[in-house]
Amino acid sequence: TRLGQRYTLTAEVLDPATGEMLASEIVHADSREKVLDALDELTRRIRRHLGEAMAAISRRSRPLKHVTTASLEALKYYSVADEHLRRAEYEEARRFLESALKVDSSFTAAKAVLGRMHFELSEYVEGFDREVGKRLLAEAVKDVDNLTDQEKYGILAWYAQAVENDLPRAIQYTKELATLYPDQSHVHNNLAFLYGQMGRYQEAIRECQTAIRLDPYLMIAYNNLSNIYMFQLGSEIDSARVWCLRQIAHNPEHFWAYYHLGWAYLGMDSLKQAQQALEKAYELHNRWKILPRFTWHLSRLGVVYLLQGDYRRSIDFFLKIVEVNPSEPAGYYFAGVAAEVSGDTLSARQYFRQFVREMRQLLRRGPVGPEQQIYLALGLIRIGEREQGWKLCQQACARDTTLHFEKARVLAVYGKPQEAIDELEAAVRHGYRNYVWMKIHPDFLSLHREPRFIALVNRLLKRGQDAS
């Protein structure tokens, strides 16, 4: 409470079973600038009531204004950002972290969290930059000695992961943090992410489930768990489905829950349920303007309608990809596939030609990677320039011999199904795990009656298992 320029801070400790007050404390601050000091003192007193040893308090504590920021306004922005991040609302979290740093450019914790977001999300979300993330973490790590253990070990772990590329050290720091603060759900989620990067998937799953047990509303932990089940392990799609449904029970308005649920249903051949989940994701994306140029849900909806034979709606959703993000010409390509399957060869040719034009312009504007060469090769084959497309594919694969999945697409479109399946098997041997995408990819429609392809997909995708 506030009276004039004087602030009063109170805290009570209640028995959760009986509601009986076990302890209470009150402290005062003579000005707004001293509120954080008073809050720090209030925290120490409560911790003593809870039985924490003075030596432990001293070892783990720093004055609150040094732990975070001397600015209440910056701290407010940071707290709001943290809530958005818990709900996996990345754009909003970034905006509030940037606002916090505008108020206090030395706010180490805000700098570190923003750096981690830039580093981890740059591959998937437009507006995040991996190099910016490294720079922010390198700046933050210089000031860790003035922080509490909770913030210090977190920043050291992120720095080890992003800048030093030392995942074992990052895990070591995060495990130390989990030992000191075992009830911090986000720490267990961070540890799960690191285990996943190391390929230690069962440990990652356990840590995700621990995070969710501690905080059933920690949406980012559910998202992490779905990624592990479907995109790192690749085969545990029914486990992913079960956890997506639990996630929706705790937050029925969460975009990623429906997106991942639709993906799981696609892998289980439950096309109508996949359609319903992805349409809900589409509705939420439009309502909340989450990641405005994100298009993966549009391509998945296009595939759902394609597999159900609703070619008009399939084409409409594929073309929405280009409307939402003009730098993604793949929408034209997949619209061409849907038109071709429907028997509208004239429209198919127009879409494929537009795709080839867009790809050529894209490649002229910057460095040409082997994957981009593969995409252009696919378009060329689709418009009848088969030999030129095949030659371009060979050039791309000579530059990067790991492009087994991409080469399989070219071989399938080129009319070499057995060679395509050979490349898919090679992709799996070399670590490819997105088995659902392999199963439903429009370029592999011609393989759906091939016994080897059917056997491969059935072997890779598990169904009907209980979530662990």
Give the DSSP letter string of 279-297.
HHHHHHHHHHT-STT--HH
The enclosing H or E element of 21 equals: strand 21-29
Please, is 449 exposed, middle or buried when counting C-beta atoms within 10 Å of its C-beta (0-12, 13-18, 19+)? exposed
Angstrom distances, CA of residue 43 to CA of 24, 49, 151: 11, 10, 16
Per-residue tokens: 457 = 């997909």
Rounded Cα gap, residues 133 and 165, in angstroms: 13
Chain-centre distance of CA 362, in angstroms? Answer: 26
**How many distinct helices (H) and strands (E) make up the chain?**
25, 3
Residue 298, pLDDT score: 97
**Residue whose C-alpha is closest to residue 174's, from 193, 154, 159:** 154
Q: Of 106, 111, 173, give the one whose Cα is nearest residue 138.
A: 111
81: left (phi over 0), alpha (psi -120 to 50) or beta: alpha
- Please name the helix (run of DSSP H) or strand (run of DSSP E) that holds residue 29, with its range, or none: strand 21-29
Widest distance between CA atoms in the chain: 82
Alpha-carbon gap, residue 87 to 215, rounded angstroms:
11
CA distance 373 to 27: 66
Which residue, 343, 395, 342, is CA-closest to 368? 395
CA distances from 373 to 80, 258, 326, 360 (A): 43, 33, 19, 10
**Burial category of 132 from C-beta neighbours within 10 Å (exposed 0-12, middle 13-18, buried 19 and up):** middle
- What pLDDT is stored for residue 466 in this prediction? 38
In what helix (H) or strand (E) does residue 265 lie, and over which residues does it extend? Answer: helix 255-267
Q: pLDDT digit string (tens) for 98-141?
A: 999 999 999 999 999 999 999 988 877 778 999 999 999 999 99
CB of 233 closer than 8 Å to CB of 220: no
Task: Answer yes or no: is pLDDT of 397 > 90.
Answer: yes
| Cα–Cα separations (whole angstroms), residue 443 to 1, 215, 224 | 64, 41, 28
| pLDDT on residue 465 | 39
* pLDDT tens digit sequence for 152-172: 899 999 999 999 999 999 999
Q: Mean of the pLDDT values across residues 394-404? A: 97
Distance CA 70, CA 92 (A): 23
Of 338, 347, 345, 362, give the one whose Cα is nearest residue 443: 338
Which uninterrupted H or E stretch holds 267? Answer: helix 255-267
pTM of the predicted model as reported, rounded to 2 decimal places: 0.81
Q: Which two tokens stand for residue 187?
A: 């720490």
Q: Is the pLDDT of residue 182 over 60?
A: yes
Closest C-alpha to 335, from 283, 266, 324, 349? 349
Alpha-carbon distances of 327 from 295, 303, 314, rounded to whole Å: 11, 20, 20
Query: What pLDDT does residue 149 have?
Result: 83
Domain boundaries, the chain: 2-61, 72-222
- The CATH H-level superfamily of 72-222 is Tetratricopeptide repeat domain (1.25.40.10)
| pLDDT tens-digit map of 210-264 | 999 999 999 999 999 999 999 999 989 999 999 999 999 999 999 999 999 999 9
- Using pLDDT thresholds of 50, 70 and 90, give the confidence band for residue 289: confident
pLDDT mean across residues, the chain:
89
CB-based contacts of 467: which residues, under 8 Å, 6+ apart?
A: 238, 239, 242, 243
- Partnered with residue 29 across adjacent β-strands are 7
Given a contact cutoff of 8 angstroms between Cβ atoms, the answer to whether 208 and 175 are in contact is no
What's 231's DSSP letter? I
- The SS3 assignment for 309 reads coil
249 burial level (CB within 10 Å; 0-12, 13-18, 19+): exposed
**First vs last Cα of the chain: how many Å apart?**
47
**Could you report the per-residue pLDDT of 324-364, keeping only the tens digit for each?**
999 899 999 999 999 999 999 999 999 999 999 999 998 89
User: Reduced to 3 DSSP states, what percent helix, strand and coil does the chain have, rounded to the nearest 5?
Assistant: 70, 5, 25
